[in-house]
Amino acid sequence: MTEIQELSQFLTLDMRLDVKAVALQQTLGLTGTTDGRHLLINTPCIVKNLCQLLSDSQNSIAKDASLALVNLSADEEIVPALLAEATNMVEHMLKIISNPEHNLADPACMVLSNLTRTKLGSEKVFQSMEGNLDKYVDIFCQEKYNKKGARLHYLASVLANLSQLPAVRSYILDPSRSCLQRLVSFTDYKDSISRRGAILGLIKNCCFETDHHEFLLSEAVDLLPKLLIPLAGPEEFDEEDNDKLPIDLQYLGEEKTREPDPDIRKMLLEALTQLCATKFGREYLRSKNTYVILRELHKWEKNENNLVILEHLVNILIRFEHEIGHDNLKELEVPDEIIEKFNALEPAL
């Protein structure tokens, strides 16, 4: 029997506390290195035992077990083996997240966030949700759902990662549900950069679905103001320009600040660019005077990558439709200079 196999024998609920604590500390240390993680994943029962220890009556034991699982799930190379070894791990994490009295809901969100970075992990998690994504959207939207202080910000990353799956995008974009309408309210969420960034990643992925552009820009979702408000500053416009803007962008006031994170601004610009893939989207953005918001952003933006995307977006909006010559830019067989940017983008995590 190897030392690692001996270690696994001590990671049980009925093991003496001091022995269990030492074994768990050694295990946690091993999860900090690539070689250590591979040793653990190749040892039968280690992962199962760690999952069982999440229910340990000693909080410190349960917490260390959750941290070990977070570290293991962060290694994409071993995710397939991790899912195979602990077949009920995903279900266990979902139960923890669903329990408003559980104090390990945040680490459980982190584990699922790590697992869903892979397509295999996303498919497993969505399957384990049993088609009830709304349940977890509901939990996510209740900021004080967890009574033990868990903020569940990483649940946003889980939802965003799941949106790499066409089936999840179809679910989210179903007009008979209110799923997307609830999530778009977090595009300007001030208390967590991870929460608003992940939800914007989900929205950007949904914008790749050109058949749903009319729904995304309809009053039911009202996506355009949600994407433009974080990009808008305190600038004042003349009455004619102001009246053309969506109502939510009129008279924002001198205290208005732009999204400070360049990566999130990039996602906002990429989502707007995707909406310009269709003639409907382009004409709608023009009709809502999107250009003036982007013009002022261009004066302010310092990030070179964002400036490239911004200039490309403006170039599309200021062109006449007869110059573009196509309804859906993604259907062109041979992309021109406008299309290249679209082809460089893929639905992402």
Q: What is the pTM of this model?
A: 0.90
Query: Of how many residues is the chain composed?
Result: 349
The pLDDT of residue 337:
57
Per-residue confidence (pLDDT) for residue 131, from 0 to 100: 86
Q: What is the pLDDT of residues 135-185, one digit of tens each?
A: 999 999 998 999 999 999 999 999 999 999 999 999 999 999 999 999 999
pLDDT at position 319 is 83
Q: Which token pair is 191?
A: 């208390």
Sequence ranges of the chain with CATH classification 1.25.10.10: 88-207
Q: Note the pLDDT tens digit of each residue in 268-313.
A: 999 999 999 999 999 999 999 999 999 999 999 999 999 999 999 9
Token pair for 297:
């952003």
What pLDDT, on a 0 to 100 scale, did the predictor assign at position 191? Answer: 92
Ramachandran quadrant class, 99 (left: phi over 0; alpha: psi -120 to 50; beta: rest): beta
pLDDT computed for residue 86 by the predictor: 73
pLDDT tens-digit series, residues 52-83: 999 999 999 999 999 999 999 999 999 999 99
What does the pLDDT look like over 78-100, one tens digit per residue? 999 999 887 789 999 999 999 99
What the block records as the tokens of 255 is 């205290």
Q: What is the structure's pLDDT at 6?
A: 86
Residue 216, C-beta contacts closer than 8 angstroms, at least 6 positions apart: 173, 180, 206, 207, 223, 275
State the architecture of 88-207 in CATH terms. Answer: Alpha Horseshoe (1.25)
Q: Give the distance from CA 58 to its chain's centroid.
A: 32
Percent of the chain with pLDDT over 70: 91
Which helix (H) or strand (E) is 167 found in, with range? helix 166-172
The DSSP call for residue 222 is -
- Alpha-carbon distance of 73 to 216, in angstroms, equals 34
Amino acid at 126: F
Task: Read off the pLDDT of each residue in 3-13 and give the average, rounded to a whole number.
Answer: 89
Residue 327 pLDDT greater than 70, yes or no: no
Average pLDDT over residues 107-132: 95
Which is nearest to 241 in space by CA: 167, 186, 291, 197? 291
Q: Does residue 344 have a pLDDT over 90? A: no
Q: Is 132 helix (H, G, I), strand (E, B) or coil?
A: coil
pLDDT-based confidence at residue 321 (cuts at 50, 70, 90): low
Q: Which residues contact 324 (CB under 8 A, 6 or more apart)?
A: 279, 282, 316, 338
Structure tokens at 168: 């999840």
Say what the pLDDT of residue 251 is: 85
* pLDDT at 335 > cutoff 50: no
CB atoms within 10 A of CB 274: 26
